[in-house]
Chains A and B, each alone.
Chain A
Amino acid sequence: MCQKWVDHRPEVDPLTGAVTTDPRTSAASAADHAALEWGLRMVEGWGGELLVATAGPAAAEVVLREALAAGAHHAVRIDLEATATSEEVAAGLAERLAGADVVLCGDWSLDRGSGSVPAFLAAQLAAASGLGCTVLALDPDRPGEVRAERRLDGGRRERLVLESPAVVSVEGGGTRLRRASLAGVLQAREAAVEVASAPPLTPSRPPLRIGPYRPRPRSRPAPSAELTARERILVLTGTPADRPPPQLLVLEPAAAADRILDQLRTWGYLL
């Protein structure tokens, strides 16, 4: 079962976009807590042992100790920078989690997470994947089989049956982590946490530039004073009356994608 140490209340400088995080407000997310709770219920129902893993710096071990206090059996930290990509995180975790019957994760992390680590993990482990589940049903007589429910558009639900090995990610709402006992907390303080290094990884694609959204400045001549206020605003905000009319294109998917990229380049959204 995987946990991520993440700041719940990061501060973002509105001018530079610089993000400041604070270890005091950093912890596992509600989704990770829900995943931990399901993990604990699995080992209660099916037997076996619960290994809790995180990828991050040494400070991230607080999430492991929290999980140990709640009842996890072992803990491992994959030593990675907090800025590691989902791919690196998944590769690091996969090496240590290979052979697990079920891998549980929160659906996505709070720091603009995309929920891709569980997907990468499933790919790395060649496991079945059920991502973004709301509720799980565990049959004590069928260890390793997870029945999961997840949301679809339009208020519909989808039921999945996942056979081991499987990667399951769960939503945060609805499942609350049990409160750790006092003895659990005291033992978790002393418990050993294994530290593993992540395998070197060549990224499959170059990293994107990450930064604040910066619309480019455009210089515009002052609008004619003879226009009405509304017209002057239209001119200034770049809503010209003579914009090219919308076009409807019917293309093959590949050609459509190229066309979209071309258009985005024309508009200046892509370099």
Chain B
Amino acid sequence: MPETFQDFDAVVVGAGPAGSTAALVLARAGRRVALLERGPYPGSKNMYGGVVYGRVLDGLLPAWWDEVPAQRWVTRRSTMVLTPTQALSVDFRTQAWGSPPYNGCTTLRPDFDRWLAGKAEEAGAVLITSTTATGLLRQGTRTVGVRTDRPQGDLRAPVVVACDGVNSFLAKEAGLYHHPEPEHFTLGVKEVLGLPRHEVEKRFALQGDEGMDIEILGGTGPVPGGGFLYTNLDSIAVGVVLHLPALAASRRRPEDLIADLKAHPAIAPLVAGGDLKEFSAHLIPEGGYEAMPGVVADGLLVAGDAAGLCLAAGLWLEGVNFAIASGQAAAEAAIEALRSGDSSAAGLAGYRRRLEASFVLQDHKKLRRAPGLVLSERVQHQYPKALCDVVEALFTVDNPAPKRGALRAARAVGKNDGVRLRDLARDLYTMARTFG
């Protein structure tokens, strides 16, 4: 193949948060960058739990909160532990999250992603929608561009940034995924239910543009995973995240598991009467640090979900912020490589270094044990049951019997629910090391 002209300095595949950020940073550095999107508009293929934590945008788009298409600003966060007939919530509210610089907002991805891609376009990136990257253009092992599904659709560039999502066919083609195993993925399914605005505010005790975010443990029946409920302006998003191999083995239908969650006595009144606006499903890379693919190859960088950068670690459920940060790091490394004229893996190695130095890999490293812990049988079923039983024993007034006290109640429940002290101690130690 002869050396042909280079259309762009960089091709970014996928106009999600990672890709649009990468394109934005490259374009601001004066680089000619193409931003490919296979959907008819950015965000059309994307779905997530529901909250974007925007602190990571501060450096890129100052006062982003004035223009981000936010639904609500999360000021109330609740973690809920469920058994079939019990519910225990830790509910937190702070007004500090309800004013600039804010903490997180609920937003719809078709709005948010389009907004962010618009920022990249304003900076000079060339957004090309309705165009699927079908493969890498390679010279030997070196990536020199991408093929698209359009006639005469090859795009050449010294650097390709693959932000093509959780299934990343480009990273797989480059041999960066060693074991894309089902146990490293969860399936997220969700319903967006329309409710009048005042009804959302009444049910979740919110005012104005305040929002609520509920994470749920133990609401997914036989399948390890989690549930969530988020408030939008005049709708709510309710869904479940399901560990893929267990879902397959359970023979349960994903939408039935949502229905079960919605029928739980603690959830049912919150979602009652909601009118289904959209049902959606998407995979989540949940393998954490241990399952991460390679992120750098000759002429190629991988960012966002494609690089497995998603934190689903019980207390924290984040992805968009990691995508944005990794997109930014990829762009900075690409700019460096373009300046030095070396876009080989060595020239692009600054990407991995940047990730290591930032919260992206530090959080992932710190929480490397979280996926196994959170999806374990004990955390999914045994502890929720034991925790709820202890609290129930504590608050059940059974006069004339005298109060037992928390420790005695816990001991009795532990015995009853089959919690082994040795397991508990080990899990508590892991939790302390992971979340502490």
Contacts and interface: CB of A to CB of B under 8 A. Distances in A.
A183 B128 contact: no
A189 interface: yes
Contacts of A183: 152
B193 interface: no
A12 to B, nearest CB: 13
B150 A182 contact: yes
A179 B154 CA distance: 15
A175 to B, nearest CB: 18
A186 interface: yes
Contact of B40 (A24, A185, A186): A24
B150 A179 contact: yes
B152 A182 contact: yes
Given A24-B44, A186-B126, A189-B126, A181 B153 contact: yes
A16 to B, nearest CB: 14
User: Max chain B CB contacts within 10 Å: which of A27, A180, A181, A182?
Assistant: A182
B151 interface: yes
Contacts of B153: 181-182
B155 interface: yes
Nearest to B150: A182
Interface residues of A, number: 10
A182 B110 contact: no
Interface of B: 40-41, 44, 110, 114, 126, 128, 131, 148-155
B46 to A, nearest CB: 13
Given A180-B150, A181-B150, A181-B151, A24 B128 contact: no
Contacts of B128: 182, 185-186
A27 B110 CA distance: 17
B110 A24 contact: yes
A180 B131 CA distance: 10
Given A179-B149, A182-B152, A182-B155, 4 more contacts: A24-B114, A27-B40, A181-B150, A185-B131
B152 A181 contact: yes
Contact of A182 (B40, B41, B114, B148): B148
Contacts of B149: 179
Nearest to B155: A182
A182 B128 CA distance: 9
Interface string A177-196: 00111110110010000000
A177 to B, nearest CB: 12
Interface in A168-220: 179-183, 185-186, 189
Nearest to B127: A189
A27 B153 CA distance: 23
A179 B126 CA distance: 19
Leading 6 A-B pairs by shortest Cβ distance:
A181-B151, A182-B150, A182-B153, A181-B152, A24-B41, A181-B150
A185 B44 contact: no
18 contacts: A24-B40, A24-B44, A24-B110, A24-B114, A179-B149, A179-B150, A180-B150, A182-B148, A182-B150, A182-B151, A182-B153, A183-B152, A185-B128, A185-B131, A185-B150, A186-B126, A186-B128, A189-B126
A114 B212 CA distance: 46
Interface string A1-45: 000000000000000000000001001000000000000000000
A47 to B, nearest CB: 22
Contacts of B152: 181-183
Nearest to B111: A24
B149 to A, nearest CB: 8
Nearest to B148: A182
Contacts of A24: 40-41, 44, 110, 114
Contacts of A180: 150-151
A24 B150 CA distance: 21
A32 B126 CA distance: 27
B350 to A, nearest CB: 30
Given A24-B44, A24-B110, A182 B126 contact: no
B128 to A, nearest CB: 6
Nearest to B275: A14
Interface in A38-59: none
A182 B131 contact: yes
A185 B155 CA distance: 13
Contacts of A185: 128, 131, 150
A61 to B, nearest CB: 15
Contacts of B131: 182, 185
A180 B150 CA distance: 7
A189 B155 CA distance: 16
A180 B126 CA distance: 17
Contacts of A182: 128, 131, 148, 150-155
B420 to A, nearest CB: 54
B297 to A, nearest CB: 24
A189 B153 CA distance: 16
Nearest to A180: B150
Contacts of A186: 126, 128
A46 to B, nearest CB: 22
Nearest to B34: A186
A182 B151 CA distance: 6
A100 to B, nearest CB: 28
A189 B131 CA distance: 14
